Amino acid sequence: MTKVKICGITREAEAHFAVDAGADALGFVFAPSKRKIEVEKAAEICAALPSHLIKIGVFVNESRENLKEIFQRVNLDYVQLHGDESPSFCESLDIPYFKAVSIKEKQDLFGIEKYQSEMVLVDSGKGPYRGGNGTTFNWDYMEGTRLPQQLILAGGLNPANVREAILKVRPYMVDVSSGVETDGKKDILKIGSFISEVKAVK
């Protein structure tokens, strides 16, 4: 069954609702974004979450030192690298990571296998931020693509299109942020609907 990551968590109440609704992972953004969260607030939220939940920090071109410090302070399980981090930089980290890759055209998929992580995230390549812009990319680009990593699909997903996305791409996990928001805030009804749609796909 496809796993669900709810990204851009900023409040404890929405974190707990997402967990209760069946989310497998939560994302906390530490990079420039309207969903950016302070380290201490993220640590407070994570301290109250169940141990089985996957806690992921989202970073863009952050230093090794800051990545490690925030990873430890927040008690994260992974750092998601959404910037220009090279394979060698990633391999120099001594904490679990996965790379996010923006897909504007099919050739952007080439080279992903150079990252030696167990997962990789593919996202749309449009918008003012590195990820989290609420736009999809052409899922047909994934047809016939065989990656060594488990695939996390992001970019413009919402309750209305996530079932089609899963059937077409068959990812290990789907990642949603703006697609479960109303007026820039996480919407518990949309979160519940999104997770229900994902879990209904066989």
Of the chain, the percentage scoring pLDDT greater than 90 comes to: 83
What residue spans of 5-157 are helical by DSSP H?
12-21, 39-47, 64-74, 87-91
Catalytic (active site) residue 123:
yes
Q: What is the pLDDT of residues 78-131, one digit of tens each?
A: 999 999 999 999 999 999 999 999 998 999 988 888 998 999 999 987 555 555
Position 131 scores a pLDDT of: 52
Active-site hit among 24, 46, 123, 175: 123
What CATH code is carried by the domain that includes residue 37? 3.20.20.70
List the one residue out of 202, 123, 125, 131 whose CA is nearest residue 170. Answer: 202
Q: What is the pLDDT of residues 155-171, one digit of tens each?
A: 999 999 999 999 999 99
For residue 176, give its domain range: 3-199
Catalytic (active site) residue 7:
yes
What residues contact 110, with CB distance under 8 A and at least 6 apart? Answer: none
Position 148 scores a pLDDT of: 83
Question: How does 122-138 read in b/e, with b if 16+ C-beta sit within 10 Å?
Answer: bbbbebeebbbbbebbe
Backbone torsion region of residue 123, taken as left when φ is above 0, otherwise alpha when ψ lies between -120 and 50, otherwise beta: beta
Position 132 scores a pLDDT of: 52
Which helix or strand (DSSP H or E) is residue 165 part of? helix 162-169
* Total-model pTM: 0.94
Task: Give the count of domains, the chain.
Answer: 1
Output the CA torsion 173→179→180→183 (10° steps). 160
Q: Count CB-CB contacts under 10 A for residue 145.
A: 13
Report the distance separating Cα 160 and Cα 100, nearest Å. 24
